[in-house]
Amino acid sequence: MKKGQWTFLSNYGRVFVYIAKCPRSTTEAISREVGLTQRGVQKIITELEAAGYIIKRREGRCNLYTVRPELPMRHRLERDHAVGDLLLALGCASKADAAADVARLIHGS
């Protein structure tokens, strides 16, 4: 993409969608795919995790990310929609699949 061109998704949206599609990705892979520095991706992941939109779990030397599709979008004009609606529109797993993943993570099954 050329510098100065705009897109419909923010960097946060792109990182969130990429994590939903590739939950075992490294920050290096995410940064390469979304076009950000690793430090920028780490900051976004930290903020998404702090806000509860993703859960990060350590698996050996890697992280496994789980998205929380049931949570509302943050902007007041979008709060009537869950982030899962965005994920569905962009071809990510169904809400039921993601909700089952979250339940397994929380309940340890």
Nearest Cα neighbor of 82 from 64, 67, 103, 97 is: 67
Question: In angstroms, rounded to a whole number, what is the distance separating the alpha carbons of residues 37 and 16?
Answer: 15
Q: Indicate the pTM of the whole model.
A: 0.81
Architecture of the domain spanning 11-107: Orthogonal Bundle (1.10)
Neighbours of 86 (CB within 10 A): 18
Per-residue pLDDT tens listing for the chain (109 residues): 667 788 899 999 999 999 999 999 999 999 999 999 999 999 999 999 999 999 999 988 889 999 999 999 999 999 999 999 999 999 886 555 655 555 555 566 5
Ranges of beta strands (E only) in the chain are 54-59, 62-67
Residue with tokens 């490294």: 26
